[in-house]
């Protein structure tokens, strides 16, 4: 979008001279009061946390939006913060609402046809990409933030008065490490799959895929002796890792050519993924049909015929034995 006008040619992905995919910065970066932005940094101004005031725009397909949906589910914030779900297939008009498709909703706030209308309402001169997730403030009629790590942090730390579950994913004693982990896995893993998939040259692809599998191998070894990324506590970093692992075998392995191994081939990453899938509330955030429809049918340059592969269909919700490892879950997330 440029100066509030939609341009389909703005769909071109940013690339460096070497053909490396470069993700654009997001532009709405406000914070809700009470958010713990860093270990020693609690936000003292900004809009108040309130139930019913904020709204999320998401796609079940999107790994960044999925972090936010997971935080909302694990905290039990479903009644406090409602969501609108876009059509998973994103073509030349950008994210669209089509409530006829299973798992989607209309734009519950404004009845828009396209998500770009919500961006234009918040900023009539908006220039930038129209992305999910979006956190919208209905009291101010404004977008608060469209950066997933920051929305995840707001839901995790500013809404405890409205959360059904006593779950803290940014716990004292772990905060610096959680910030470091989220940062550390972003480049090689979360964004690494995109760098491989959208690489414009063989070199850029090989660099990305090598860094990706080096990082996965390293984490597989670490997760052999500890249940979660930060050790014995489930944290936001696990949610950030989860959304990439969940999409890996079904999409990134084939569509983005990350085909050295599948997650099911790893001794520990596969059990770790099933451990997280089996947490209460997580399954309701997972819609593999939306995930596959999105990637295989939206990126027409990578998959011109839009054919969606039928496999490999791993059993994400099968039991695991990771509760034998050091580390425990908050009481609210323990299943009998
Ligand atoms: N930095 C953003 C990235 C969000 C993002 O790239 N979302 C994708 C979907 S997975 C999107 O909406 N892309 C539309 C576009 O780039 O035009 C975040 O983490 O929230």
Residue 299 lies in a domain: no
**What total of structural domains would you count in the chain?**
2
Q: Which of 60, 62, 119, 277 is catalytic?
A: 62
On whether 175 is known to bind a ligand per the annotation, the reply is no
Atom of ligand 1 nearest to the CA of 13: 16
Distance CA 116, CA 317 (A): 35
On whether 147 is known to bind a ligand per the annotation, the reply is yes
pTM score, whole prediction = 0.97
Q: Does residue 142 sit in the same domain as residue 197?
A: no
Q: From ligand 1's centre to the CA of 132, what distance in Å?
A: 5
Task: List, for residues 45-96, the tens digit of each pLDDT value.
Answer: 999 999 999 999 999 999 999 999 999 999 999 999 999 999 999 999 999 9
**The last residue of a domain, from among 128, 162, 196:** 162
Cβ(7)–Cβ(1) below 8 Å: yes
Lookup: tokens for 98? 């089509």
Q: Does residue 153 sit in the same domain as residue 187?
A: no
Q: CATH number, domain at 33? A: 3.40.30.10
Q: Does residue 224 sit in the same domain as residue 153?
A: no
Domain that holds residue 235: 175-282+311-333
Q: From ligand 1's centre to the CA of 240, what distance in Å?
A: 14
Kind of pairing, strands 134-137 and 82-85? unpaired
Q: From ligand 1's centre to the CA of 225, what distance in Å?
A: 33
Residue 306 lies in a domain: no
Q: Does residue 32 sit in the same domain as residue 157?
A: yes
Q: Does residue 99 sit in the same domain as residue 191?
A: no
Picking from 232, 222, 311, 237, the residue whose alpha carbon sits closest to that of residue 267 is 222
Could you confirm whether 246 is annotated as catalytic? no
Task: List, for residues 284-309, the tens digit of each pLDDT value.
Answer: 999 999 999 999 999 999 999 999 99
Picking from 290, 283, 280, the residue whose alpha carbon sits closest to that of residue 315 is 283
Atom of ligand 1 nearest to the CA of 133: 20
On whether 112 is known to bind a ligand per the annotation, the reply is no
Closest residue (by CA) to atom 9 of ligand 1?
Answer: 62
Distance CA 332, CA 311 (A): 34
Cα–Cα–Cα angle for 271, 273, 278, nearest 5°? 95
Distance CA 327, CA 269 (A): 16
Lookup: tokens for 187? 């480049």
Could you confirm whether 54 is annotated as catalytic? no
Q: Write down the pLDDT at residue 9.
A: 60
Atom of ligand 1 nearest to the CA of 94: 17
Residue 261 lies in a domain: yes
Q: Does residue 158 sit in the same domain as residue 179?
A: no
Q: Does residue 155 sit in the same domain as residue 12?
A: yes
On whether 95 is known to bind a ligand per the annotation, the reply is yes
Q: Does residue 34 sit in the same domain as residue 90?
A: yes
Q: Does residue 24 sit in the same domain as residue 126?
A: yes
Peptide bond just before 41 cis, omega within 30 deg: no
Cβ(204)–Cβ(191) below 8 Å: no
Atom of ligand 1 nearest to the CA of 63: 10
Asked if the interface predicted TM-score (ipTM) of this complex is over 0.95, the answer is yes
Residue 169 lies in a domain: no
Pocket test for ligand 1, best of 2, 7, 11, 64 (most atoms within 8 A of CB): 64
Q: From ligand 1's centre to the CA of 131, what distance in Å?
A: 4
Q: Write down the pLDDT at residue 12.
A: 58
**The last residue of a domain, from among 107, 140, 162:** 162
Task: List, for residues 188-230, the tens digit of each pLDDT value.
Answer: 999 999 999 999 999 999 999 999 999 999 999 999 999 999 9
Distance CA 122, CA 119 (A): 5
Residue 51 lies in a domain: yes
Q: CATH number, domain at 246? A: 1.20.1050.10
Task: List, for residues 136-166, the tens digit of each pLDDT value.
Answer: 999 999 999 999 999 999 999 999 999 999 9
Distance CA 88, CA 196 (A): 22
On whether 131 is known to bind a ligand per the annotation, the reply is yes
Q: Does residue 207 sit in the same domain as residue 73?
A: no
Q: Write down the pLDDT at residue 11.
A: 53
Q: Write down the pLDDT at residue 23.
A: 83
Residue 316 lies in a domain: yes
Residue 253 lies in a domain: yes
**The last residue of a domain, from among 104, 138, 162:** 162
Q: From ligand 1's centre to the CA of 336, what distance in Å?
A: 37
Q: Which residues line ligand 1 at a C-beta cut-off of 6 Å?
A: 26, 62, 64, 129-133, 146-148
Q: Does residue 319 sit in the same domain as residue 197?
A: yes
Pocket test for ligand 1, best of 88, 131, 293, 299 (most atoms within 8 A of CB): 131
Residue 208 lies in a domain: yes
Q: Please count the CA atoms within 13 angstroms of the CA of 5 that sit on its side-chain side.
A: 4
Q: Does residue 145 sit in the same domain as residue 197?
A: no
């Amino acid at each position: 979008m440029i100066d509030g006008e939609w341009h389909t040619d703005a769909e071109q992905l940013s690339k460096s001279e070497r053909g490396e995919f470069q993700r654009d910065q997001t532009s709405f970066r406000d914070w809700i009061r009470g958010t713990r932005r860093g270990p020693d940094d609690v936000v003292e101004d900004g809009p108040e946390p309130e139930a019913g005031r904020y709204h999320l725009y998401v796609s079940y397909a999107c790994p960044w939006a999925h972090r936010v949906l997971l935080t909302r589910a694990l905290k039990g914030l479903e009644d406090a913060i409602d969501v609108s779900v876009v059509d998973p297939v994103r073509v030349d008009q950008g994210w669209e609402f089509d409530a006829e498709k299973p798992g989607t909703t209309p734009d519950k706030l404004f009845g828009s046809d396209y998500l770009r209308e919500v961006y234009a309402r918040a900023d009539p001169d908006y220039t930038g990409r129209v992305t999910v997730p979006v956190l919208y403030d209905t009291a101010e009629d404004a977008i608060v933030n469209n950066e997933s790590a920051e929305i995840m942090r707001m839901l995790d730390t500013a809404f405890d008065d409205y959360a059904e579950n006593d779950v803290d994913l940014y716990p004292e004693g772990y905060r610096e490490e959680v910030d470091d982990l989220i940062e550390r896995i972003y480049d090689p893993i979360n964004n690494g799959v995109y760098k491989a998939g959208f690489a414009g040259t063989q070199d850029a692809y090989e660099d990305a895929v090598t860094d990706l599998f080096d990082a996965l191998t390293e984490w597989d070894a670490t997760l052999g002796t500890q249940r979660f990324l930060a050790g014995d506590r489930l944290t936001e970093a696990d949610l950030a890792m989860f959304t990439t692992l969940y999409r890996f075998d079904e999409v990134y392995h084939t569509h983005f050519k990350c085909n050295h191994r599948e997650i099911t081939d790893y001794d520990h990453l596969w059990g770790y993924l099933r451990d997280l899938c089996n947490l209460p509330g997580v399954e309701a955030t997972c819609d593999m049909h939306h995930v596959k429809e999105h990637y295989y049918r939206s990126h027409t340059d990578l998959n011109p015929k839009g054919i969606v592969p039928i496999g490999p269909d791993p059993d994400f919700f099968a039991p695991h034995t990771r509760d034998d490892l050091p580390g425990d879950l908050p009481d609210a997330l323990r299943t009998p």
